[in-house]
Structure 1
Amino acid sequence: MGHKRAAFLVVLLSIATYFTLRTTMSTSQQLSRSVTKKVLSIETPEGAGALVRRSIGTASLRNLTPFLMLDHFHVSKGAGFPDHPHRGQSTITYMLEGSSRHEDSAGHKGTIETGGVQWMVAGRGIIHAEMPVHAPGHPDPRGLQLWVNLPKQYKMVEPSYQELGPAEIPTATPKDGVRVKVISGKSHGVESPVRPLGGCWYFHYIWDKEGVEAFQELPQGWTAFIYVLKGSLTVGADPTPLDAFHTLVLSANSTEAGVLLKSLSPDTQLMLAAAEPINEPIVQHGPFVMNTQEEIMQTFQDYRQGKNGFEKAHVWKSEIGGL
Structure 2
Amino acid sequence: INLPANEKLGSPSIALLSDTHDTPVVTENGAQVRVLAGRYQQEHVATTPISTDMLILHVTLDPGQKWTCPFPHGFETCFLYLRQGSLTCSNSNVRNENGMDDTLIPPHHTAYFSGNGRSLELQANNGNAAADFMLLAGVPILEPCVTQGSMVMNTKQEINQAYVDYQAGLFGQPWDHELSREEWKDHVQRFPSRYR
TM-score (norm 2): 0.71
Which residue does 2:81 correspond to in 1? Answer: 227
Are the structure 2 counterparts of residues 180 and 302 from structure 1 closer, same or farther at C-alpha, using a change threshold of 3 Å? closer
TM alignment of 1:35-74, pairs within 5 A? none
Which residue does 1:261 correspond to in 2? Answer: 122
TM-score (norm 1): 0.45
Pair 1:181-2:34 in alignment: yes
Aligned residues: 166
Contact 1:188/1:216 (<8 A) preserved:
no
Once residues 259 and 195 of structure 1 are traced to their aligned partners in structure 2, the CA distance between those partners, rounded to angstroms, is: 25
Stretch of structure 1 that moved more, 223-232 or 159-168 = 159-168
TM alignment of 1:1-323, pairs within 5 A? 148-166=1-19, 168-175=22-29, 177-193=30-46, 194-210=48-64, 212-222=65-75, 223-237=77-91, 240-252=103-115, 254=116, 256-265=117-126, 267-303=130-166, 310=170, 316-320=173-177
Are the structure 2 counterparts of residues 322 and 291 from structure 1 closer, same or farther at C-alpha, using a change threshold of 3 Å? farther
Once residues 170 and 292 of structure 1 are traced to their aligned partners in structure 2, the CA distance between those partners, rounded to angstroms, is: 37
Unaligned runs of 5+ in 1: 1-147
Once residues 130 and 167 of structure 2 are traced to their aligned partners in structure 1, the CA distance between those partners, rounded to angstroms, is: 48
Q: CA RMSD in A?
A: 2.8
Are the structure 2 counterparts of residues 284 and 199 from structure 1 closer, same or farther at C-alpha, using a change threshold of 3 Å? same
- Superposed CA deviations along residues 136-172 of structure 1, whole A, max 9, x for unmatched, are xxxxxxxxxxxx2111011011011111104621100
- Superposed CA deviations along residues 80-109 of structure 1, whole A, max 9, x for unmatched, are xxxxxxxxxxxxxxxxxxxxxxxxxxxxxx
Once residues 216 and 251 of structure 1 are traced to their aligned partners in structure 2, the CA distance between those partners, rounded to angstroms, is: 13
Are the structure 2 counterparts of residues 174 and 195 from structure 1 closer, same or farther at C-alpha, using a change threshold of 3 Å? farther
Once residues 25 and 139 of structure 2 are traced to their aligned partners in structure 1, the CA distance between those partners, rounded to angstroms, is: 23
Q: What residue identity is the alignment partner of 2:105?
A: L
Once residues 181 and 152 of structure 1 are traced to their aligned partners in structure 2, the CA distance between those partners, rounded to angstroms, is: 29
Are the structure 2 counterparts of residues 234 and 158 from structure 1 closer, same or farther at C-alpha, using a change threshold of 3 Å? same
Partner of 2:161: helix, strand, or coil? helix
Once residues 86 and 164 of structure 2 are traced to their aligned partners in structure 1, the CA distance between those partners, rounded to angstroms, is: 47
- Superposed CA deviations along residues 218-252 of structure 1, whole A, max 9, x for unmatched, are 22232001212222222234694322112111123
Are the structure 2 counterparts of residues 154 and 208 from structure 1 closer, same or farther at C-alpha, using a change threshold of 3 Å? same
Are the structure 2 counterparts of residues 198 and 321 from structure 1 closer, same or farther at C-alpha, using a change threshold of 3 Å? farther
Unaligned runs of 5+ in 2: 93-101, 181-196
Report how far residue 288 of structure 1 moved: 3.1
Task: Name the % identity.
Answer: 29
